[in-house]
Amino acid sequence: MAAVPKPFLQVRERIAGTKRLGLATSARSREVAVWAGAKVRNIVGPGEVSAAGTPGETGVILLYVPKTSDAAKAGLFAGEILLAFNGKPVK
């Protein structure tokens, strides 16, 4: 079987005013917090934004909601996304 040649890629020129793409960074923390007895974490990064279907890095995901917690009593479940609470956006 013949070896497949490795493609050779080279940037010939850059369009004026364009920048190299780097890794996106976020000021939002990925730290887990407890809210209303449930464990929550900020939606961070383009992958989580896409998976959660949020309009951007806004809201939190409920990671764990104990059955006896205030969050569970309010009808919330693990895996749900909170975008607002009491009419105010969750940032």
The pLDDT value recorded for residue 64 is: 95
List of residues 6+ apart from 53 with CB closer than 8 A: 81
Is a pLDDT exceeding 60 seen at residue 68? yes
Mean pLDDT of 76-84: 92
Q: Which residue has the tokens 């764990």?
A: 64
Q: Yes or no: say if 40 and 82 are a contact pair by the CB < 8 Å rule.
A: yes
Please name the residue that has the structure tokens 């969750």: 90
- What is the structure's pLDDT at 13? 54
What digits encode the pLDDT tens for the residues 7-47?
555 555 555 555 555 555 678 888 999 999 999 999 998 88
Q: For residue 1, what pLDDT is reported?
A: 61
Q: How confident is the model at residue 41, as a pLDDT?
A: 94
At 33 the pLDDT is 92
Q: Give CA–CA dist 30/40, Å, rounded.
A: 10
DSSP state of 49: H
**Measuring CA to CA, which residue among 75, 5, 79 is closest to residue 43?**
79
